[in-house]
Amino acid sequence: MEHYQSSLDAAFHALADPTRRAVVSRLTKGPAPVKELAEPFDMGLPSFMKHLRVLEKDGLISSEKVGRVRTCWVNTERLAGAESWLSEQRELWQARTDRLADYVETQMSRSIEDAS
Amino acid sequence: MEHYQSSLDAAFHALADPTRRAVVSRLTKGPAPVKELAEPFDMGLPSFMKHLRVLEKDGLISSEKVGRVRTCWVNTERLAGAESWLSEQRELWQARTDRLADYVETQMSRSIEDAS
């Protein structure tokens, strides 16, 4: 449970930044070298590397250096964990909205019956 | 687009904490007064209120004070936005995994044909 909570902390923390989300989005399409990942962003390589380190520390991506090229890939389990948590919440509030709708409908039918 | 990105920043930032996630979970079942929300947590009210302020600033909850009671409720649109973003990523990597599986299958069939 502790581990589950800390992996959610890490996933949501890593995703709270548009550059990091864009990197994750790019990597869902397949692994990529750092140089290619950095290209679309208007920032220095040191700043960009900081974002990659956050993503790696938070477990959303992994990387390996072969020769002079570091290649990154996405860890889909951590993303899946965050999505599961959010979909559980949606199910809870949808169940509640459905119950409310049922209640309103019952009350309305009763009002119509009473009036007739 | 700017607004979309900043609302995702805010949602993921707010959710990167177990206390704040627990409050969101509780509120998906219906609105609740601050006193009831704070009860399960082993922390002082000032610390707990800080979490509520983060949740409210990041747009995940709203609250209203009537008399001496402040009642909170969840803003489901912001949660739904975060879930949508994650499910888009899942669709991207699933599409990729499917393509990889198709490729491997094709290669294996060819190897079998070549061998026979």
Q: Is any Cβ of chain A less than 8 angstroms from the Cβ of B32?
A: no
How many residue pairs from chains A and B have C-beta atoms closer than 8 A?
84
Q: A21–B15: do the CB atoms touch at under 8 Å? A: no
**Hey, of A3, A28, A61, A98, which one would you mutate to test binding to chain B, going by the most B CBs within 10 A of its CB?**
A28
ipTM: 0.87
Task: Please name which of A35, A107, A83 lies closest in space to residue B90, comparing C-alpha atoms.
Answer: A83
pLDDT of residue A1: 66
Instruction: Calculate mean pLDDT across residues A79-87.
Output: 96
The pLDDT tens digits for B2-50 are 798 999 999 999 999 999 999 999 999 999 999 999 999 999 999 999 9
- Chain B (33-92) residues lying within 8 Å, Cβ to Cβ, of chain A: 74, 76, 79-80, 82-83, 85-90, 92
Which is nearest to B41 in space by CA: B65, B54, B15, B23?
B23
**Over pLDDT 70: what percentage of chain A?**
99
How distant, in Å, are the alpha carbons of A11, A78, B92 from that of B6? 17, 22, 22
**Calpha distance A62→A13 (Å, rounded):** 16
Identify from B1, B92, B96, B103 which residue to disrupt to test chain A contact, counting A C-beta atoms within 10 A and taking the largest count.
B92
Q: Greater confidence, B78 or B104?
A: B78
Task: Give the per-residue pLDDT at B83.
Answer: 96
Q: Which amino acid is at A6?
A: S
Residues B57-77 pLDDT 10s: 999 999 999 999 999 999 999
Q: What tokens were used for B26?
A: 């509780």
